[in-house]
């Protein structure tokens, strides 16, 4: 049972962290806490997606299949490593890894903007999203067993 009265006082979609983690994992924008990882991923990713959809690209399109997958690895390693306890959370390092991954996310999203249900977008989202979800479940079980 949740007894902390501060839970639910912030909009979960912006912070999606427990209030006791806000100072470490979030940035304060105005009166709201925003997830540090999301703040690194989405703005840069959307800029790259729209630029690539308009024909401005960071690299030649022929490199997309490899780079989209490879550039998702740094943030995945950072997230999973922290979740399974290989190393502690470090906001700067996590943000830097997310900025690298944002380039892949943006390039993949440009395919989705041009052609619905693009495999260039949805395959990495499914694979890396599944890995992050599994790591989150592992972290949750690990925390519960230590309590």
Please give the Cα distance from 147 to 128 (Å, whole number): 29
Domain contains 9: no
Asked if the structure places residue 12 within a domain, the reply is: no
How many structural domains compose the chain?
Answer: 1
Spatial distance between the Cα atoms of 127 and 26, rounded to a whole number of angstroms:
25
State the average pLDDT over residues 21-38.
88
* Position 83 in a domain: yes
Instruction: State the average pLDDT over residues 42-66.
Output: 95
CB 26 within 8 A of CB 33: yes
Q: Is residue 90 part of a domain?
A: yes
Query: 1: part of which helix (H) or strand (E)?
Result: none
Is the confidence at residue 4, as pLDDT, over 50? yes
Query: Is position 28 within any domain?
Result: no
pLDDT tens per residue, range 100-128: 999 999 999 999 999 999 999 999 999 99
Tell me, yes or no, whether 22 lies in a domain: no
What is the domain extent for residue 101?
36-146
Whole-angstrom distance, CA of residue 96 vs CA of residue 94: 5
Domain assignment present for 62: yes
- What does the block give as tokens for 16? 């999606």
The pTM for the full model equals: 0.84
Q: Evaluate whether residue 127 is within a structural domain.
A: yes
Complete DSSP assignment for 53-118: HTT--SS-GGGHHHHHHHTTHHHHHHHHHHHTTSS---HHHHHHHHHHHHHHHHHHHHHHHHSTT-
């Amino acid at each position: 049972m949740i007894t902390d009265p501060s839970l639910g006082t912030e909009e979960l979609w912006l912070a999606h962290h427990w209030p006791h983690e806000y100072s470490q994992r979030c940035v304060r924008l105005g009166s709201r806490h925003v997830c540090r990882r999301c703040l690194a991923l989405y703005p840069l990713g959307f800029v790259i997606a729209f630029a690539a959809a308009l024909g401005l690209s960071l690299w030649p399109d022929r490199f997309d299949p490899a780079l989209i997958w490879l550039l998702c690895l740094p943030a995945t390693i950072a997230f999973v490593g922290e979740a399974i306890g290989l190393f502690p959370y470090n906001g700067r390092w996590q943000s830097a890894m997310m900025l690298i991954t944002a380039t892949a996310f943006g390039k993949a999203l440009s395919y989705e903007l041009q052609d619905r249900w693009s495999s260039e977008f949805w395959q990495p989202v499914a694979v890396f999203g599944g890995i992050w979800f599994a790591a989150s479940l592992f972290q949750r079980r690990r925390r519960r067993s230590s309590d």
